[in-house]
Amino acid sequence: MIPSSVINQLRRLRGDERGATSIVMGILIIPLVGFLALGFEVSNWYMITRSMQNAADAATLAAAINNGPNYDVEARAVAAQYGFVNGVNNVTIGVSNTATCPITGDQNCYSVTISGYTPLLMSQVVGFQGNGNINGSLQKQLNALAVAKAGSPADICLLALANSGTNPAIQTNGAPTANMNGCDSMSYTGANCNGHNLGLGISFTVGSSNNGCGAKQLSNQSKLNPQDPYSRQISNNISNFTDPCNGNYPQETHHGNSSSIIASNRLSGTLTLSAGNNYFCGDQMLTGNVTVSTPNGAAVMIIENGSLDLNGNTFMMATQTDALTIVFTGSNCCGYTHAPADNTNGPGGALDITPPTTGPWAGMAIVQDPNLTTGVDVASAGNSPTWTITGLIYTPHATITLKGAIDKSNFGKSCVVMVADNFQISGTAGILKTDIGNCGGAGLKIPQATVGGVALVL
């Protein structure tokens, strides 16, 4: 028989609830710690993914803004600034310029995908195994995707740099027969076309003034990047020039209606130039028609401290295999003229140039040294003399007075790009139909502006 004292103790024990919570907590502690750990890790994953997304967004916008052949390099460089380097710490960065655009379905959007791994910590307590195994360590893979669309490119074949501050840098006062054949223009100040839109396509201006030029006017635009798309290449090319003239620069003399120059600076007949640099000191004057032959490859005609006076004659290429770039260089002093001219009072001459399609001067027909700021203006371009030129006409500090139509060279592609300080346009001014395909065939990359800007679409 159980003693009554024992029975009483058992009754008290059955009703005693002290310590029950400890038992429950002991049972629940393992899943509770697991869920707390999982919550911490999920928060960490979110923070890493957010950083990835910021990097992907910035990298995609950079690729779209670049909009060029090295867009992928640009994107990965921007991602690296956010701490995500392709191939480092199991990070993979994929970049494409043929991504499918949302809504439209076009395959010309830019995309950046960033993928990486982070090791599992306490989340394994609740049985989470992740979705990656690297060197025996369970990992969670994280991803971010961004898609951006670049604005539509516009090919600029008339670029007014306005280095002098001239405003408007594209100006016309009545040019009813002018026709730029849909060429797009850009002025780094304003543009003003009175009475005729010049047959321009889109007229871009960095300034707020944009009146009457082009079928469409876009003001308050950003300058091109780089602002002068040819300056660096041209300056690098010119830095390799020597100076064989030794300070001797014969100049034309003018006597009433006639001009003269020393015999060594008179040009006529066949002018055979060697491949590479050919130096001419002082003014050069045609005394008859000149046919340029470059039998050993593309030639550069370097005129130092002088002009090229056609004197009513024709200066042209001999065959379709001949190629020439004319470069005007020298000093900002002494009244030198650094430009093509036609000083005859009779019928004007004709300038017909086909530039090389490859090499350091590819696509460049007429070039003024960017360091020249005086004696650079070109009067009556396309009229006296007539210009039939393929490629780039580069005069960054010049006022070009465009009065006649510029056609392609006899042996060249339909491509003309003009860069000047400012343009004054009148009469029958115009240029032939120019597009990126023709200029690509001529070896020249057309400057491009963006219509519509760049935006993230995903």
Walking along the chain (458 residues) 10 residues at a time, the average pLDDT comes out as 66 61 58 61 87 94 87 95 94 95 86 93 73 85 93 90 97 79 94 88 95 93 94 97 95 84 97 98 97 97 97 96 98 96 81 97 98 94 86 97 88 94 88 81 92 80
How far apart CA 283 and CA 298 sit, in angstroms, is 22
| Cα gap 50→143, rounded to integer Å | 10
Give the span between the Cα atoms of 244 and 246, in whole angstroms: 6
Supply the pLDDT for residue 457: 85
Structure tokens belonging to residue 39: 């919550």
End-to-end Cα spacing for the chain: 83
With 0-12 / 13-18 / 19 or more C-beta atoms within 10 angstroms meaning exposed / middle / buried, residue 46 is exposed
User: In whole angstroms, what is the distance from residue 210 CA to residue 192 CA?
Assistant: 6
pLDDT of residue 18: 58
87: left (phi over 0), alpha (psi -120 to 50) or beta: left
Which pLDDT score is estimated for 364? 98
Could you tell me which of 106, 136, 105 has the C-alpha nearest to residue 120?
Answer: 136
Residue 400 burial (CB count, 10 A): 26
Q: Which of 447, 421, 434 lies closest to 170 in space, CA to CA?
A: 421
Task: Quote the pLDDT of residue 169.
Answer: 97
Please list, in sequence order, all residues whose beta carbon lies within 8 angstroms of the beta carbon of residue 456, skipping any fewer than 6 positions away. Answer: 57, 60, 61, 146, 147, 148
CA pair distance 188, 205, nearest whole angstrom: 6
Residue in 197, 201, 198, 196 with CA at minimum distance from that of residue 182: 201
Q: Quick one: tokens of 415?
A: 């491509």
- Reply yes or no: is the peptide bond before residue 226 cis, omega within 30 of 0: yes
82 burial type by CB count under 10 A (0-12 exposed, 13-18 middle, 19+ buried): middle
- Which pLDDT does position 37 carry in this prediction? 60
Which pair of structure tokens corresponds to residue 314?
A: 């024709």
